[in-house]
Amino acid sequence: MENSLFDLSGRTALITGGGSGLGRYIAEVYAEYGANIAVCSRKLNNCQETANYLESKYGIKAKAYECDVSNEEQVKRVVEAVLFDFVGIDILVNNSGATWGESVENMPLEAWQKVMNVNVTGTFLMSKEVGNHMLTNGYGKIINIGSVAGLKAEPPEVLNAIGYSTSKAAIHHFTKDLARKWAGRGIYVNAIAPGFFETKMTKHVIEQHADRIVKHNPMKKLGDSKSLQGTALFLASQASDYVTGQVIAVDGGSSL
């Protein structure tokens, strides 16, 4: 694997929401390719379990941190702790996310604000805090997790969560704008827009609408861990050293 385009040996990756779901998939492939791993979320136990698993399976260094990414003081504290524990941060994956299923006419303001605070403000705060370190080093890879829901409007019977879809569209533009601002300073910023994957967040929708989702997907299937891992590995490695500001849909063609 050494000298491979995808080798991450000696790199450190910080993955928000890395204790479960898509974040854990990404953490595992980075560890498999040699990166040291820092995972954080509001649920420390999930992150600790993931860190222990990655250390024992791949022989890399992994640590867990508790963090609400919408809280600036917590973000500052966690980034400072990761920098102390690992010396540097080379890769940031902004994966922490929240959603709220409700019709627009009945959506509580506090639900809208919660989703925006976690998904958009959290991505900004993490990118700013880690980005300052990356700018000092003149190198960094930032990967934001968007969604196909931010690329196209779904009918309410499939996805009725306007705050979530709006927040993910915001993430896509944030990715492009930040990439443009930092392109000349060694920082790469890209986004992945997953389609429907089986995770805790999508469990309810998939249980109710799996047949419809699969039927309308050009590849006639849901996403699996390896399809997401390949794209995440590409964007974190030197294989993507001429790629920035891109939103890559990993969705079986559902956004076409």
The more confident residue out of 221 and 58 is 58
Q: What is the pLDDT of residues 137-193, one digit of tens each?
A: 999 999 999 999 999 998 887 788 999 999 999 999 999 999 999 999 999 999 999
Amino acid occupying residue 68: D
The more confident residue out of 153 and 92 is 92
Q: What is the pLDDT of residues 4-53, one digit of tens each?
A: 999 999 999 999 999 999 999 999 999 999 999 999 999 999 999 999 99
Integer angstrom CA distances of residue 76 from 14, 23, 121, 127, 150: 13, 20, 14, 11, 28
Q: Which of 58, 65, 164, 188 is catalytic?
A: 164
Lowest mean pLDDT among 201-205, 235-239, 243-247, 251-255: 201-205
Q: What is the pLDDT of residues 178-220, one digit of tens each?
A: 999 999 999 999 999 998 776 665 656 666 667 777 777 787 8
Residue 31 has a pLDDT of 98
Q: Treating both helix axes as pointing N-terminal to C-terminal, what angle do 122-137 and 162-182 enclose, rounded to 10 degrees?
A: 20
Check if 164 is active-site.
yes
Residue 129 has a pLDDT of 98
Write down the pTM of the prediction: 0.94
Topology (CATH level 3) of domain 12-250: Rossmann fold (3.40.50)
The rounded distance, in Å, linking the Cα atoms of 97 and 167 is 10
Residue 33 CB contacts under 8 Å (≥ 6 apart), including other chains: 1, 4, 6, 7, 8, 9, 233, 237
Q: In the predicted model, is pLDDT for residue 130 greater than 90?
A: yes
The rounded distance, in Å, linking the Cα atoms of 239 and 19 is 26
Residue 154 has a pLDDT of 84
φ/ψ of 171, rounded to 5, equals -60, -40
